[in-house]
Structure 1
Amino acid sequence: MAIEIVPEWMVNLDDEDVSFIKKFILASGSLKEIANQYGVTYPTVRLRLDKLIQKIQISEDTANEPYIALIKRLALNEKIDFETAKILINEYKKTKKEVK
């Protein structure tokens, strides 16, 4: 029986994200090739990659600031808009400063 250990940066990725990463690697990092495989434009693939990068960066922030990471994750998943996310994060940071 094999024990699967998922790296921390992969915890918040869904199956589609992992599939994208696999295709990206198999295409030797060619965004043009990935665009052809998905039948979309290069800018669409670039945007998808940028969102994936942000998800990975957020997972690295989680240990230090889980609340901020949650807000960023909600914005990335389009559950809240980016302006609302910025407001929530700024207010949270203000209250943390006041507590210290």
Structure 2
Amino acid sequence: MDTTMIPPWMSNLDDEDMTFIKRFLLASGSMKEVAAQYDVSYPTVRLRLDRLIQKIKLGEQIENEPYIALIKRLAVDDKLDFDTAKILISEYRKQLKQGE
């Protein structure tokens, strides 16, 4: 794989995310094993995996809707609550429709 061509979804992940992915893969996808490695509960690993999945999905949307992807990323990273994120995205979409 050409390392100069990192996919957008991957460029949004930090070192901790990449380490988690590596551990998850090496554990053959066993969240129980990953939980033991991190010395955390299974639900904690599940939450981390869910947030990572959301980040990856957002990375795929960046090229099409960079503003919406930013708002969603802030919500996933707990820098913005989900209700506020929904309001911002809704208002942004309304403005886009009015400008058409």
Q: TM-score, normalised by structure 1?
A: 0.94
1:20 — aligned with what? Answer: 20
Structure 2 gaps of 5+ residues are none
% identical equivalent positions: 65
**Aligned AA (2:70):** L
Report the alpha carbon displacement of residue 4 of structure 1 after superposing the two structures with TM: 2.5
Q: Matched residue of 1:47: which SS? A: helix
2:29 — aligned with what? Answer: 29
Report the alpha carbon displacement of residue 14 of structure 1 after superposing the two structures with TM: 0.4
Paired residue total:
98
1:31-74 Cα offsets, whole Å, 9 max, x none, are 00000000111111000000000000001111110000000011
Whole-Å separation in 2 of the counterparts to 1:52 and 1:7: 15
Structure 1 gaps of 5+ residues are none
Q: Matched residue of 1:28: which SS? A: coil
Report the alpha carbon displacement of residue 7 of structure 1 after superposing the two structures with TM: 2.2
Q: TM-score, normalised by structure 2?
A: 0.94
2:70 — aligned with what? Answer: 70
1:58 — aligned with what? Answer: 58
Structure 1's consecutive aligned runs of 4 or more residues displaced over 3 angstroms after TM superposition are none
CA-based RMSD: 1.0
2:3 — aligned with what? Answer: 4
